Structure 1
Amino acid sequence: MIGKRLARLATVGAVAAAMITVSALPASANSDKIIYLPGGKGYMKFHDDGDVFEVCDTKADGHGVTGTLLRFNRLTADRVTVLVVTDGGDSGCNKKGYDIGNFYTYNMTVSWNGGGDEIWSDSFNE
């Protein structure tokens, strides 16, 4: 009887320790997100490692690319632009950091500054 109780306690302890270990791990090894403009005009990418947003103008057409990060509050239903990153007219991409949390839901949008549609990402958070 005592042996069964000890075995049960050991099992419960091992399960609890495993749950603590798993909860301390990151949600995903790679949670990067990327959205592309049609026609190879550019993209916006979220680098989960460091919470960095990158916008790239990939077509030398005289127009740049603008990426925005929108924060959605599920409790109040408010959507607020929290970050804007533009790129164009120079070599390389432009980057800015913004700390993403769990309380809000976020969407990225990317648009070509010559007109046309705005491309939206799926909603995400950490």
Structure 2
Amino acid sequence: MIKRALSRVAVAGAAVTLLGLTAASPALAGDEGPLWYSNRGTVTFNDDGDDITVCDKLADGHGVTGYLERLNSTGTGLVYVIKEEDGGDAGCDRSDNDYDMIGNISHGLAICWNGSGSCVRSNWYFDE
């Protein structure tokens, strides 16, 4: 009886430890997104390569444009660090650049529909 109770405690303890380790190690910690523009498309920041993936999700004759942006040096305007468009073909497009966003400058994602209307923007974040 005591042996069975100790066995159950050991199994429960191992499960709690495994759960704690899993929760402490985030998957794709630096990736952000996807950020959706309604049902028209998405933009995702890929930490592996510091680039973005843009996906046009609606065959409406207009593509979408995704941006990785940051504030300018005075904090009064936006600088588009990466721009990538997708539309008119199957699949998504991923930017190919040499940008490295490590540092204390906050960045954000934006996605715009190439028809009309305003863009959708994410919250600001830092790369670690």
Relative to the length of structure 1, the TM-score reads: 0.69
Give the equivalent residue in structure 2 for 1:43. Answer: 42
Q: Which residue of 1 aligns with 2:11?
A: none
**Aligned-pair CA distance for 1:85:** 0.5
Q: What residue is the counterpart of 2:88 in the other structure?
A: 89
Structure 2 CA distance, aligned partners of 1:71 and 1:84? 12
Task: Please name the residue that 1:120 is paired with.
Answer: 121
* Structure 1 gaps, min length 5: 1-25
Q: CA deviation at 1:92?
A: 1.2
- In structure 1, the residue matched to 2:74 is 76
The one-letter code of the counterpart of 2:57 is T
User: 2:8 maps to which residue?
Assistant: none
Aligned residues: 99
1:67-101 alpha-carbon deviations (Å, 9 max, x no partner): 1121225x621531121100000111111143212
The within-5 A match list for 1:17-56 is 29-34=28-33, 35-38=35-38, 40-56=39-55
CA distance 1:101–1:28, shift in 2 (3 Å): farther
Distance 1:28 1:69 in 2: 21
Alignment correspondent of 1:7:
none
The alignment partner of 1:59 has SS state of: coil
Determine the C-alpha separation between the residues in 2 that align with 1:46 and 1:101: 13
Q: 2:69 & 2:87 partners in 1: Cα distance?
A: 21
